[in-house]
Structure 1
Amino acid sequence: MRLRNVLVALAAATGLAAASLSISLAAVPPPQQGTLTKLNITGTYVSGISSGGYMANQLHVAYSGLFQGAGIFSAGPYDCAQNNVNTALLACMDTFQARKTPAQLEQLTRDRAAAGAVDAPQNLSGDPVWLFHGTADDTVDAAVNNDLATYYRDFGSRVVYNSTTAAGHAWISPIGPNACGSTASPYINKCSADVVGQMLGHLFGSVNAAASTLTGKLVQFDQNTYAPGGSASAITLGREGFAYVPKACETGPCKLVVALHGCQQTYGQIGNALLDKAYLNEYADTNGMVVLYPQATTSSANPRGCWDWWGYQSAQYAQKSGPQMTAVVNMVKALSNGGPAPTTTTTTTTTTTAPPSGCVTASNYAHTVAGRAYANLGQTYALGSNQALGLWNTYTTSTLRQTSTNYWVRC
């Protein structure tokens, strides 16, 4: 990647991928307000792209006793950035600066484990790890992604590494809106290979064909409940998070996959594009798999909505005590064993609310954040009635009223 592109390097997304088969579109259902409730989870895995790929690795390493495998797309090895944004940009995305070698980072991991800051790295031995880097991706240098493969192999993980797909820096999906080699919003590209199926097949051993029609539900939950101190915004997380729950998983055993977006891919930036087009829900319905979609957010220190993999939010970002790490693990525990208990801190939306019989006027973005509407491909729709509200942004306003639980109509 050229030096002039360095400042856009933190723009995120990268690739899982998808099929050359005939694909039927299976639109994600409108979100339903709810909470994360205990399910019969039999195995927990983490995936992520770009900044989400770095965060996925941090979670897998720090909580290797909890996560049983990882699918990581266009990211480097554990704590490559060393709590320094310049190192992140110039050594762990580009390679203009020297970076820690895999062997040095492996020793750092052992030292932190000895101090109790992360789980024992011996847990990584035998874990399935699926890595991806597109040949047209010049946002994260291939050499950095190669270091991640070395890091995992040295700890004995079962690594499969796809580095031959001609993909740009994007999530790769058979229903993606962008061309395979593109690096542009919403960072979801259509390529010829079903990389999502390849990834899940490696993590699980095998997978059934993806569904063409979704039958599960998309739960929109309050991330304040799971953030340390009860404030998601204080640790640069969005108010809303999402979980796709197939019908079979409401009563039967299922696996859990945490899917972490990249920079510029948050719900507040691209709406439900990633939730709808990632091609994870389609596999979830046919493979007994819940998909958890936590959400970071933007801030003055993090204008692109990245996950913290260089220390913008906390110097402990890559350790078990890292606030964002703790929040995601709290979400996982809520799904797998019913914890944690909801925080006693009550946090409400900053937009104006009204009683069910009243009308609420707000921007279409504010309506989606408050759970009165949802976004799909840049357009906004009232929750429940699905009435069209126009462009999804902070400038277009709509007036809605609630007629029943989770059902809003235009006034």
Structure 2
Amino acid sequence: MTIAGCTLALAAATQAAAAPAPLPAMKARQASVSGLSSGAFMAVQYQVAYSGSVVGAGIIAGGSYYCAQGSMMNAIGSCKGADVAELAAVTRKRAEAGLVDPVAKLAAHRVWMFSGTLDKLVPQASMADLAKYYAAFIPAAQLQYKNDLAAGHAMPTDSFGNKCDALAAPFISNCGFDAAGNLLQWIYGPLKARGNSAAPAGKLQEFDQSEFLPAPETHGMANTGYVYIPPGCETGGAGCKLHIALHGCMQDIGTLKDTYARHAGYNAWADTNRIVVLYPQTAAISPMPNPKACWDWWGYDDPDYSVQGGRQLRAIKRMADRLTGA
């Protein structure tokens, strides 16, 4: 073989070795979803679109379902002042048309919400609207809203990140408050004490997202995502739970690699409670329409972004189906 041939063969072998593995097929149950910022808006969309397949949600700095109504300007304003009654009516009409799951499925959900008093990007008014939206479908006893912590726009933790009032990468802040633990325990009920976040017992691995959405980077999703598999879930995941954690803008694999997946606070709870954590990943589309790698919660890629036929929502659901055996 020539030198050139050897070089090409070596390059091909290296590329093949570096290719991420497929997302493993599992049989986890009790799926739930959470998100921060654009991930929070997306989590609400996912929860409504597929309410029959999730048991609850954790929303940190987000807003009501379909509140952007296909408008980037509404998204830039974080949907402040959205007509909640109208959005609830839209939800019911879409459910009747089969575009999202029946709204009756929402009634059993448990929802945990968080808004920092110092958050200037997604103001507390947007989260107050979300609380009103949920009240149209979910009993008050199943909703919890924490809005009294002097936190900025970030994922609050009690062990990692910037100062609590910071607005800076990686948009994870050490606030002396464990948001991931609080939302998981609200959704699932009392959990075993978390493990050591500094020395996780499970395995964080990359997987191929293009299996679930062809040419994902042209639609705002990365080629690869992450999944965290804790002890006891390695061989099929029977008896394990599934949580879908959606990062915010500029927290994607291309910007921060695995920082969010490792440090947002979920994995330590996953270790001791047999929770598989799915971390789907976005990708930037520059210079427009998505330079900050946000989730599509206003329609930058897809006019059907907020219903079951939406590309990104459908891709996440396919990932969840792989992990639950649906």
Unaligned runs of 5+ in 2: 1-17
Contact 1:130-1:202 at 8 Å conserved across structures: yes
Contact 2:231-2:274 at 8 Å conserved across structures: no
Which 4+ stretches in 1 moved above 4 angstroms? none
Residue 333 (structure 1) shift: 0.6
- The aligned runs of 1:369-408 (5 Å cut-off) are none
Specify the SS of the correspondent of 1:248: coil
Q: Does 1:67 align with 2:54?
A: yes
Q: Does 1:286 align with 2:286?
A: no
Distance (Å, rounded) in 2 between the aligned partners of 1:248 and 1:283: 13
Partner of 1:185: 169
Amino acid aligned to 1:223: Q
Residue 172 (structure 1) shift: 1.0
Q: Does 1:125 align with 2:111?
A: no
Specify the SS of the correspondent of 2:225: strand
Specify the SS of the correspondent of 1:301: coil
Residue 111 (structure 1) shift: 0.5
Residue 91 (structure 1) shift: 5.6
Q: Give the number of aligned pairs.
A: 301
Contact 1:173-1:278 at 8 Å conserved across structures: yes
- The aligned runs of 1:332-411 (5 Å cut-off) are 332-337=320-325
Residue 181 (structure 1) shift: 1.1
Distance (Å, rounded) in 1 between the aligned partners of 2:78 and 2:240: 39
Q: 1:255 aligns with which of 241, 249, 262?
A: 241
Structure holding more helix per residue:
2
Partner of 1:369: none
TM-score, length-scaled by structure 1: 0.71
Contact 1:237-1:296 at 8 Å conserved across structures: yes
Partner of 1:217: 203
Q: Does 1:204 align with 2:218?
A: no
Residue 203 (structure 1) shift: 0.5
Distance (Å, rounded) in 2 between the aligned partners of 1:137 and 1:32: 39
Q: Does 1:311 align with 2:299?
A: yes
Specify the SS of the correspondent of 1:200: helix
Q: 1:194 aligns with which of 178, 188, 198?
A: 178
Distance (Å, rounded) in 2 between the aligned partners of 1:39 and 1:50: 29
Contact 1:50-1:74 at 8 Å conserved across structures: yes
Amino acid aligned to 1:335: L
CA gap of 1:190–1:32, structure 2 versus 1, over 3 A, is farther
Contact 1:32-1:217 at 8 Å conserved across structures: no
Amino acid aligned to 1:164: D
Partner of 1:14: none
Partner of 2:289: 301
Contact 1:186-1:265 at 8 Å conserved across structures: yes
Distance (Å, rounded) in 2 between the aligned partners of 1:35 and 1:218: 13
- CA offsets 1:44-82 (integer angstroms, 9 cap, x no match): 000000100000000000100111100010011001000
Partner of 1:106: 88
Specify the SS of the correspondent of 1:225: coil
Further displaced range: 35-44 or 274-283: 35-44
Q: Does 1:88 align with 2:70?
A: no
Amino acid aligned to 1:130: W
Distance (Å, rounded) in 2 between the aligned partners of 1:330 and 1:234: 18
Structural RMSD (CA): 1.5
Distance (Å, rounded) in 2 between the aligned partners of 1:201 and 1:148: 21
- The aligned runs of 1:6-17 (5 Å cut-off) are none
Specify the SS of the correspondent of 1:184: coil
Further displaced range: 172-181 or 131-140: 172-181
Partner of 2:216: 232
Q: Does 1:272 align with 2:258?
A: yes
Q: Does 1:58 align with 2:45?
A: yes
Contact 1:61-1:124 at 8 Å conserved across structures: yes
Residue 32 (structure 1) shift: 9.6
Q: 2:31 aligns with which of 31, 34, 44?
A: 44
- CA offsets 1:112-156 (integer angstroms, 9 cap, x no match): 111111111111112100000001101111111111111112202
Contact 1:32-1:220 at 8 Å conserved across structures: no
Distance (Å, rounded) in 2 between the aligned partners of 1:38 and 1:91: 36
Structure holding more strand per residue:
1
Unaligned runs of 5+ in 1: 1-30, 339-411
Amino acid aligned to 2:248: G
Q: 2:64 aligns with which of 65, 71, 77?
A: 77
Distance (Å, rounded) in 1 between the aligned partners of 2:82 and 2:20: 44
Contact 2:57-2:187 at 8 Å conserved across structures: yes
- CA offsets 1:255-300 (integer angstroms, 9 cap, x no match): 0000001001101011221112111111100011000000011002
Q: 1:329 aligns with which of 298, 305, 317?
A: 317
More RCO (CA 8 Å, sep 6+)? 2
CA gap of 1:138–1:334, structure 2 versus 1, over 3 A, is same
Distance (Å, rounded) in 2 between the aligned partners of 1:165 and 1:261: 21
Specify the SS of the correspondent of 1:268: helix
Residue 305 (structure 1) shift: 0.4
Contact 1:102-1:147 at 8 Å conserved across structures: yes
Between the two proteins, what is the percent identity of the paired residues? 39
